[in-house]
Structure 1
Amino acid sequence: MPRIAATAEDEGFSQQASSGERRWEWVKPTSPTVRAAVLLSEMTPRNVRDGVDVQAYGAIYLDQVEQRLHEDGQRHPDAATLMAPLRAWGSTFTRDGAYRFRRSADPESRVEELAGDLRSFAAFATAIRDVTDLSEARLARSRIRRHVTAGLAPGYAAPQVASLIAEMNTNTETGVEP
């Protein structure tokens, strides 16, 4: 984990107090109302003796969107506006958040893969400073609708979050308070 922690810190993330002995979280505010987080959990099965398995996710929290979702239904306190496996924020879409580090299978390349995915997520997340930064169709297509968005209010799915963001952006462009 030291190399991953160093990569997160190089990208401007600060480590938060871990919520358990095998969980890590790094957070980076990108603006007063937006923050990005990298979440890692060790999920090694009991039968694995030669390494560890880690689940890694990237999350973006937009206060404006969260406030609207809160008004429409109960939200879990840890709910993220956008959340997907860390590697899904890179160039190849996948729903698999697992990184398997085995001593017998070049663990160094897996560490480098995880660090690269973290850098890719950080580059994307740093550009999100306001809900209007998600107004470009390319971002909505590639980062919202396509990704599994976890922790949404009851009845919300990723396309509905994309629609809410589009509505908020339209309101901003027309001068209506979102």
Structure 2
Amino acid sequence: MKILKIWASSVLLLSSCTTSDTENVEVENRLDTLQEELSNPDDDIIVESFNLHKNSSIALDDYGFAYITTGKKLVFEYSYYLDPAPSWVDDENTEIIVFEVDPALENFVFQNSDLISSSTFFTNLCFCIVDKSIAIENGKIQGLNVGTDVWELDINVNFEEFNYSTEKFEERNITITGLFSLEN
């Protein structure tokens, strides 16, 4: 997408050869701005959320995407939103991990096969090819109830995700530590 924008700006620059000097300066300034945006990663917008949903459960829709619905469990939802270039469109990405636990528990440790029985899923939402949510079967999730509707969680999970750039499955590891609370 970034290459497309630079290409489009270059076409504008070349087509501006018959325009006024003022317009040429404007196009050159825009090219300088685009190059600065590419070289300045500090402008990323990152938003993480650590949500707890009571009386819920996790289900899969007809396309294989995990979603939170009404149920009898506690559902934990971690969300990581990245917008690497806020002035550009269609470059945003959201990664979500969800899983459910028995609401009577005060603490838990889920490892490997426990992750399957707790409906642990990873979903990547972006302007790219996304097949479905990925069931997480490897790793460890540990939780402790530290207050009313507040849980401290350590998540360290592994799964394979298809990389469309390399056309290969690649191992992903996600490690998260955070306080999860009721969604506002």
- Could you say whether these structures have the same fold, taking a TM-score greater than 0.5 normalized by the shorter chain as the test? no
More helix by share: 1
More strand by share: 2
Instruction: Name which structure has the greater RCO, CA cutoff 8 Å, separation 6+.
Output: 1
TM-score (norm 1): 0.29
Specify the structure having the higher radius of gyration (Cα): 2
